[in-house]
Each structure stands twice: as structure tokens, then as C-alpha cells.
Structure 1
């Protein structure tokens, strides 16, 4: 069914565009991943672009949701609200080289669209300006721009739009046609693409995003010719080869990809660019107004992170090793990795637990405080596990719908997925403890589900605001003991509140207490609680783990 077209660029058009772009990238993801040979042939460009746009879409939807209860006169966000949300969501969710560049393209467009000066930027003229600013700002964000990449495709789209008069639909069509022509030309601009017989994967992704823009304003999606993907038709090349983004890679390229968000001032970021440029390649730094997304390929990942620490506060740090002999072998054949029969994928709230789960053989997705993973991130983790059967542990009650959507997507790809509705990481630990990959899948799932269900869970946290709870009214700064998701204890001291919470849990019996300490847990709290259990509950054992930066001060499990 044709999309009802938008007549000009407003908040609804931003929302529609993000939704259509996400759908388009979802359809093209595997194709784009398959043509990923540059700068590293890791086969994830399509996935990275999808996750970046998914984050942008989620941010825009959150803005619209916030207006649902507003007075009728202001029931919809402004264009500036929606554009800022799109740009911010893409920035914090950007993945990989191409995703980071796409985030800057969206930010560049948002800066024009959200400008509420005397001149309106909601018509065709505004879209032309937005496309031009997006292409220029993306090029400026890349330390060493290379032609034949997504940057060339973005510039060509802006050039084509600049020579077109008309409404947003007319301008979008011109930009799309210019981008398609530039994409087809990328193999002639970059030798690695010509050798593989493919076009740039990042540029192919941008074409999909621009096709969604055309559909937003015309109601009809242009049909991309698959023949343009393998423009050179090199012998032996096929849908399984491809390209990535912005700077050249060689056979002896850096060993690590490092990505992090950074809170820092402009002068510090300027110094950071210089330092990272000396450390490695594929450097892209996007953002502004105190928040940046940093992407670089280096041999010394620690030095790249330390440079961020010197510049400001880095967080959501992701380090990927380009393993020798695998897809990162720069232009070599990608070996076929045999699927294992069964794997466990788990969401974990802190680095400490991520290490624990990984040691137990699980594939982990790190959930930072206030930054839950999106469904696309969970799907990618399921794929990364490379198994025929996957047990998915969301470890958070609020992630049940996200995990269910991810499981359904993975099933559509032929992976057998069982979702165990774990509501806390301690329930996940109990489930993982009884996991046996050698027994029948259904039996394993039943055993893991039973172990998780037999584990009561609690957390100790600090109240952020005054609110009504099942235990009474709490004030900001009060210490809360939550059992099975409900506030059961309100106190002033962390250790005393934790002890009261644990006593309530053990009053119903138990054999094993699991304590997971957050970075901000008081010194000595674990020893105090272990002593309490040993003296008051003689037949109960206690195990203690360090959870890292997990949000809660303390997680408690009682089996």
C-alpha cells in the first residue's frame, strides 16, 4: 500500500522518514552486509546502519509519546523537537564507520531543519539546504575523506538537489537519482571496490535512506536496481562481497575498532582528533554541543580510550578486535564459520557481569544505566552467537517486548529461539548455571526457565524523586529495597536497607544468596551481608560478584 505523502517537512515528516528508512534498511541489511569489503571486510555495514537509524527512530517516537498527554493545542511536537531527537538518537546509537557518518548526515540536516529563524526550511528550498549542509558536515567529520565512499554519494545527492527547483518530493527525487549515479561510480573511484566488483556499502545504505525520503514526500518508493550493486561484475564476485565507508584499509591495518560517546568541550575534541589521528585511521568524530561520537581503528585500544578520558568523559565504550584470519583480513576470502548447535544470549547491566556471563559461554549485550538495548542490537547478538538454537535472557522486565520482537525477527531468519522471561541478571545467572547444551533443546529451556523462576530477585537503589510506593512515600535520596520489582523497604542507610531486604527475602526460605555489587556500593557491604547470612541462616550459602557500573548499588538473588 502506498505511503500517504507529506507535503512539507514537519515533525510528522521526520517521524515518517525515520520509520520508512528503518524498514528500507531492514530489507537491505543482508545485501549491504554482504558487499562490505572496505575499509575492513567485517560484513556489518548494513547492520550498523540499521542500528543507527533504529536509535534515531526510537528517539523520535519518544518525543511523540511525550506529547500524547499534552493539551490538544500542543498535541504534536515541533519540527525542531523531532529533528533534534532524530539527530541525538542517531548520535548516541551510531555503530561502525558508516553508522557514525550517517549520524553526522542526519545531524547536519537537523541543524538546518530545526533552525527557527526568519526563513522557513520546511519546503524544497529548505531540503536543498539541509542536504548540502549534511554532506559538508559529514565530510568535515572524517579525518581523511576518501572518494568512492558514502561521502561521495552524499555530496552527489546534495549537488543534484541544488540544481532542482520544486517541492520536497521533487528535490528528494533529484537527490536520490544523484545518489544512485554516484553509487554506481564508486568502483571506478576506489580500487578495492573495483577488485571486488561491488559498490560502496555505506553509500548503498544512504541510497536506501534517500529512497525512504522520496517515499515520505511522494507516497511511492523508488525501486533500486540490484544490478547497480555489482557495477563491475568482477569474476567470482557475487552477493557475498562488498564495501564500507571512509578511509583506506590495507592488509596490515589496525587491530581494533574503538567507538565511544564522549562528553567534552570543543577545544578538547580538537586536541583529541589530532591525537587519535596519530594513533590510527578511519577516524570519524561527530556531534557537538558537548556530546560526541568517536570512531577510530587503532592497534592500541587502551591509548584511544585514554585519549578520550583526557578530553572529557567517555562512556558506552565498544572495542572490537579485527581477528586475524577472519573477515577482517582486508580483502581476503571470508572463511565459513560452522554454526554451533546451541548458544545463550544475555543482556547484562554491567561490565563485571558481562565477564561472568562470557566466561560461562554466553554472548552478551551490555545495557548501560538508562540506555536499554534496542531490538536490533539483540537480533545482532543472536546472529553473532552463530548457533542453530539460541536461548535469550533479557534479564529485565522492561525488555520483555524488545526481546520478544528480537526473537521473532531471529526466528524469521531460520534460528530457533527460546525467550526465557528473566527479570533480573541474578535470575539469568541461575538459568545459566543449569544450562546444558548437550541435552534436548526443550528440556534445556524448561530447566533454565525453572531455575530462573525459582530465584527471587531484589535490588538496592537510591530514589531519584519523591514518589508513592507499596512501602509508603519515599523522598529523593532515600535508599530503596525492591523485591521482585516492588519497593519493600525504604531506609536511609544502604547497608541497613540491604540487610532488611535480604531478611525479607530469606523469610520465605532459600538455599543460595547471590550478591552483585555495583561500583557505588559501600565498602564492606558484602562482608556484612555474608556474615548476616552465615549467622542467621545456617544452611544458606552466599556468592558475591562485582557487577561494575550497573545502575543499582546491589543486586540480590535468592534461590
Structure 2
């Protein structure tokens, strides 16, 4: 009996790994195209690379496993481990939001051996809520819009199944239909991003982060249903033709720095830091790595921001706490070399 339980735990880890490995593959294959159309919020041409590196961190965490061979592990716990690793090492706006999505989805999968249509609907809704809450200034026409469309479609599909028994709603056929509907809705949402953001409309491309999320959702469908990735998924989406140029290279660059780190903060300090970063920068994302606070109420947060004055932002960070996994690198319009901390958050801007 114990051997059977351990085998089931391993299958749960394998199912998450299968999704992440497929997502890693498809993002890796598409990274050049995703980078080429990455012009919002800044034209720094790294969305594909950031999403690939973030999902790779999640997949490696599951590979390394540790306690994942234990009998007690369920689907939610495996995905939570992957999500924490992704969030702690997240890169860029898109990578951070993808990591937030993975972490949020894990909560609704607690206790489950496999994904079901009802669990998918709850997981995507939790991911939508967490992603919108993490951003200080959420924008329509981005991967947030694509995620919202996926979540609402999963919920609508579930609402149409009221005549089915619980066993039927939890069955593979219903899950397959739900995943097909989610991917189709995400595709349409990606197509519409071109109309929702002026820079995308002018350049005649879709949103890069939204497209990356579509690829991740297609990987989820393929891994759960044991089918191939859709080879025609990008057909008809502007910016993905073989003749399409690297749009970000002809957009006026933006000066400043991209700042990413993990930092342990109590709720008041976290709110104060978010407010301060909003004052001196933009694209501020703050999401907790876990929800189990210490005696002082503090939790570890993953933070992302675009700032103009790196020294001012670093001073603000260190006044709030001790940042780790700190990455500070120039945006496309800055001449300085990239700088990256040694994990203790001690480096300043290069040059």
C-alpha cells in the first residue's frame, strides 16, 4: 500500500513536470519571436527569454524534487514548489506574472491526484485574481487580459455542466472540452491585444507576454491530454510570420533599470515600499512567495520594478529590508552594463 501511494505521489510530480517541460520547450522555441515583438511596457526585447528562464526554474525545482517522493505530496503541493522556485527566480514583468500564476493555481489543486474541469476553473480564477493584485498598475491588452479570458471561459464552461453528475464533471472528456475552450479563448484574447494597446496597434503586433501565456496554456492542454502541442497555434497572429521584423529594435529605447529581488517584509513595510516604488518607477509587481507569516507578520515577497534612478531604488529597498536574489540591469535605453548581485543584494548600479 505504501509503495502504491508513493508511486501515485511520483505520478503527481511527473504530471506537473510534464506541463512545465512542455512549456519550457515551446517557450524556448518561440523565444526569439516573443522577444522580437516585446515592445510593451518597454521595448527591451526579452519577454520570451524571461518567460523561458522562469518556467525552467519551476521545472528544475520539480526535477530536484526533495520531499516530492513523499507519500503526502499532492498536485497542489508539487505545483506550489514549482511556483515558489519560479517566483524566487522570476525575470521581467512577464516571468514574474507567470510565476504568480503558477503559485496561485497551486492552492486550488491541494488534495487532488489529477486535474479536473472544476479544479481548472478555480485555479485559473485564483491565478487571475493574484496576477491583477500583484501589479500596481494593471493594463488591459496584456497577459492579464489573456489570463482573465481563460479564467472566465473555464468558469462559463463549468456553469454549463449543471446537468451532469459530479463524476461526469470530473471526467477526462469534460476536462478536454474545458482545456480546448480555454486555449481557444486565450488565442482570441491574444489577437485582440493588438487593438487594446496603442503601441501594439501602431506596430501591428500582438502582446508578447499574452502570446507566451497562450503557449503555456497550450502546453497544459497537451500534457494533461497526452497530445502534441498545436503546431498552428500562432497562425494569424501579427508578428509571428517568418518575415516579421524585430519590432523592438526600431522602437525608441527607454532609459532606466529593471530591478528584481526577493525581500522579507511585514505588511506595513511592504505597503510602504510598494508606494515608494510607484513614486519613483513603474511596472511595480509585488507578490508573496508564501502566505505563512512569521511572528512579526513578515513574509518573503518577490519584487519587480522599472526605475530611473537605481541608487534611489536600492536605498529604498535596503531601508525596508535585506534583498536577496537581486538583479539590477539596464533597460534597452541605458548604456551601462548589467549588474547582478551575489544573492545578498550588495551591488549597486554598474558604471
Given candidates 82, 86, 89, the residue that maps to 2:85 is 89
Task: Show structure 2 runs of 5+ residues with no match.
Answer: 1-7, 159-168, 292-298
Contact 2:19 2:220 in 1 (8 A): yes
Contact 2:254 2:332 in 1 (8 A): no
1:55 is the counterpart of 2:48: no
Q: Which residue of 1 aligns with 2:244?
A: 238
Partner of 2:121: 128
Note the C-alpha offset of 1:80.
3.3
CA distance in structure 2 between the aligned counterparts of 1:45 and 1:91, rounded to whole angstroms:
15
CA distance in 1, matches of 2:211, 2:147: 11
Flag the structure with higher strand content: 1
Post-superposition offset of 1:368: 4.2
Tell me how far 1:121 sits from its aligned partner: 8.2
How far residue 130 of structure 1 moved from its aligned partner, in angstroms, is 0.2
- The Cα offsets for residues 105-151 of structure 1, whole Å up to 9 and x where unpaired, read as 1111112223x4xx998421011100011011101111111111010
224 and 34 in structure 1: CA distance in 2 versus 1, 3 angstrom threshold: same
Partner of 1:512: none
8 Å contact kept, 2:140–2:197: yes
Q: Which residue, 101, 107, 122 being the options, matches 1:105?
A: 101
Q: Which residue of 1 aligns with 2:16?
A: 14
Change (3 A) 1:111 1:257: same
C-alpha spacing 1:292/1:254, structure 2 compared with 1 (3 Å): farther
Distance 2:245 2:132 in 1: 28
What is the rounded CA distance, in whole Å, between the counterparts of 1:23 and 1:198 in structure 2? 23
Task: Measure the CA separation in 2 of the matches of 1:67 and 1:158.
Answer: 28
Rounded to whole Å, the distance in 1 between the matches of 2:84 and 2:48 is 20
Query: 1:10–1:170: structure 2 CA closer, same or farther, 3 Å change rule?
Result: farther
Query: Which residue of the other structure, out of 38, 41, 44, is the alignment partner of 1:42?
Result: 44
For the residues of structure 1 that align with 2:55 and 2:128, how far apart are their CA atoms?
17
Contact 2:259–2:327 under 8 Å retained in 1 = yes
- Deviation per CA, 1:373-409: give whole Å up to 9, x if none: xxxxxxxxxxxxxxxxxxxxxxxxxxxxxxxxxxxxx
2:329 to 312, 315, 320: 320
Alpha carbons 2:326, 2:340 under 8 Å: kept: no
Q: Does 2:230 match 1:222? A: yes
- Asked whether 1:278 is paired with 2:279, we answer yes
Contact 2:32–2:48 (8 Å) recurs in 1: yes
Deviations along 1:1-37, whole A, 9 cap, x unmatched? xxxxx9xx94332121111111111111111111111
Q: Tell which has more relative contact order, 1 or 2 (C-alpha 8 A, sep 6+).
A: 2
Deviation, structure 1 residue 82: 0.6
Match of 2:215 among 196, 208, 219: 208
Correspondence for 1:80: 76
* Structure number with higher helix proportion: 2
Which residue does 2:3 correspond to in 1?
none
**Aligned 8 A contact 2:205 2:238 in 1:** yes
- Kept in 2, the 8 Å contact 1:10–1:122? The answer is no
- Radius of gyration: which is bigger? 1
Per the alignment, do residues 77 and 185 of structure 1 end up closer, same or farther by CA in structure 2, a change over 3 Å counting?
Answer: same
Distance 1:265 1:228, change over 3 A: farther
Partner of 2:256: 255
Using the TM superposition, give the Cα deviation of residue 366 of structure 1 relative to its aligned residue in structure 2, in angstroms.
6.3
Which of 26, 29, 52 aligns to 2:28? It is 26
Query: What is aligned with 1:534?
Result: none
Structure 2 CA distance for partners of 1:255 and 1:231, relative to 1, 3 Å: closer
Does 2:297 match 1:304?
Answer: no
Question: How big is each residue's C-alpha offset from its partner over 1:62-103, in whole Å with a ceiling of 9 and x where there is no partner?
Answer: 22x5556x6xxx3x8422331211111111110011111111
Equivalent-residue separation in structure 1 for 2:256 and 2:340 (angstroms): 22
180-189 or 311-320, larger mean C-alpha shift: 311-320
Which whole-Å deviations, capped at 9, do the CAs of 1:310-331 have from their partners, x for residues lacking one? 32221122111235488xxxxx
Residue 67 to residue 276, structure 1, CA distance change in 2 (3 Å) = closer
Q: Partners in 2 of 1:193 and 1:52 — Cα distance? A: 24
RMSD after superposition: 3.1
